[in-house]
Structure 1
Amino acid sequence: MFAEVTYASRPGSERPNEDLVIAGPSWIVVLDGATAAAGVDSGCVHDVPWLVARLGSALAAGLVADRPETSLTGMLEAAIETTMAAHSGTCDLDNPDSPSATVAMVRDVRGRVEYLVLGDSPVVFKPAGGGVKVVSDDRLEGLPGGRPYTVELVRRMRNAPGGFWVAGSRPEAARQGMCGAVADVRGVGVLTDGVARLVEWYGWSWGDLVTALEGEGPEAVIRAVRELERTRGPVRGKRHDDATVAWGRVGQDQGYHGGTS
């Protein structure tokens, strides 16, 4: 069980927030919906927030059931199947541009914090012995030819061997997640790439991020992202991205305190 879970999420524009954070006493899930490129036909009558909400709901249902014998990979695969079933009769799920999302999730099981990372939403741990441990999936950064990527390249490499993997309409993508467990942890941060900009673009270390989450909280971390985006601008792409971060504190005073969404 986490002693405390706090979180914050902010949209990057006037568009609906395509991130989602859900948490319980012993688990945290953060999803980042993939914004569709202009003019792309997804083959789906639903938008990205719909996909993210259904996927998040299915994951929460599995985690609330509290079955530690079921792996996070198994839970994600089942959640993708449930989500697919919700729109299989109305949408072309074979379309490679069908809505999708990254997934970052953690679960405390008997003092070990399990994790699954699929796509570019990382998890960062504060071990009891000091330092940090980061779990990130950088396969999107390694596509052929380097950035900027074409729409055609991303379509071809999404959920394909040698490419990158996300949760959408391929249940087997769950088996491509980066999984493991960390023992003797004092805290864990789960975030989208809109917050990881602090490290990837603006010179923060992962230790800086953990210190800010632990000392000032998720809201302050997102304010720091927005300030740097305003003063220094983006390295690439949109000026402001949806930004979501959760912090799970591990301690003796067991309890649960939800944050702001």
Structure 2
Amino acid sequence: MRVATATDPGHALRPNEDWVAAAQSLIVVLDGATARTDTGCVHGVAWYAAKLGSTITGLAVEDDRKLGDVLTDAIGITARMHPECDLHHPATPSATTALIRLTEDALQYLVLGDTTVVVETTDGIEVFNDDRVDTTAQAERAEANRYPFGSAQKQAALLRMKHAELALRNQPGGFWVAAADPTVVTHAITGQIPLAAVRRLAVLTDGAARLVTMFDLLDWRGVLDVLDEHGPTELIRRVRAIEAADPNGTKWPRNKGSDDATAVYAN
């Protein structure tokens, strides 16, 4: 398959906390969780995403290993890279994870968190996404959405929302992402599709998926069409144009004016 990628930070003065590696037979996409509080880690979210992503990539090239086992081992290895940090801190760096691996006869996938995998097959479009984070802290989200960006009320509400989210991160009844505990992988969405049935696919962090999930301006087929005709850079450009047209977050309330955005397209 041919593979194209693009990634863009949500803010020019902050590091991109997304991480991507893509080749003909392997795609790894991580979306680090922005820290609005202390994390107990001296390295930061971008460091964590990069270390976890590169570790996953190194392990996943062995295609006889299950993707779940790859992610389990990678989380443990990454945790051992920074033992000086408080890995039991409720806000220890974390990341959503999406893995695609092509074998001789199958497309294997794993999704942990709200990064989206979209696969068009001969039978239609399949979407794999764990959006349980959107069902947490709903009262706090609604409160934050009442205020414009830049206001003290918005900042305070976002902090309350973050604390409410963290209380349910990697907890029963909450949502699951890669952090320091490898056992979270049991909650990942996994499966495979016969390779002969696959026409094209995309992997999108939530910042790149906004045209569908937040702005409701495209459906998933439309996203695949944009990627096919214009490439991942154009998809992200369109997201940024909509964000720029609503700088205060009044038309499309959201917790970030612009989020880190990563898109991978393969056909």
- Which of 108, 126, 131 is the aligned partner of 1:138? 131
Equivalent position amino acid for 1:22 in 2: A
Aligned length: 241
Structure 1 residue 6 corresponds to structure 2 residue 4? yes
In the TM superposition, residue 22 of structure 1 has moved relative to its aligned partner by 0.3
Q: Secondary structure at the match of 1:32?
A: strand
Counterpart secondary structure, 1:59 = helix
Q: Tell me which amino acid in the other structure corresponds to 1:95.
A: H
Give yes or no for contact 2:111–2:188 (8 Å, CA) kept in 1. Answer: yes
The 1:239–1:150 alpha-carbon spacing in structure 2 relative to 1, beyond 3 Å, is: closer
Aligned CA-pair RMSD: 1.4
1:49 aligns with 2:46: yes
Residues 230-241 of structure 1: pairs in structure 2 closer than 5 A: 230-232=244-246, 233=249, 234-241=252-259
Q: C-alpha offsets along residues 81-103 of structure 1, whole Å, 9 cap, x if unaligned?
A: 01001001x11111111001110
Q: Matches of 2:58 and 2:220 in 1, distance apart? A: 31
5+ residue gaps, structure 1: 250-261
Q: CA deviation at 1:24?
A: 2.1
Q: Which residue of 2 aligns with 1:156?
A: 167
Partner of 1:256: none
TM-score, L = length of structure 2? 0.87
Whether 1:182 aligns to 2:175 is no
* % same residue: 41
Query: Which residue of structure 2 aligns with residue 194 of structure 1?
Result: 207
Report how far residue 25 of structure 1 moved.
2.1
Ranges in structure 2 where 5+ consecutive residues have no aligned partner: 142-159
In the alignment, the residues of structure 2 paired with residue 15 and residue 92 of structure 1 have an alpha-carbon distance, to the nearest angstrom, of 23
CA contact (8 A) 2:137 2:161 kept: no
Q: 1:52 to 1:181 in 2, by over 3 A?
A: same
Q: Secondary structure at the match of 1:175?
A: helix
How do 1:94-243 residues align onto structure 2 when only pairs under 5 Å count?
A: 94-129=88-123, 131-143=124-136, 145-148=138-141, 150-183=161-194, 184-203=197-216, 204-232=218-246, 233=249, 234-243=252-261
Q: Conserved in 1, the CA contact under 8 Å of 2:32 and 2:46? A: yes
Whole-angstrom CA distance in 2 between matches of 1:44 and 1:181: 35
TM-score, normalised to structure 1, is: 0.88
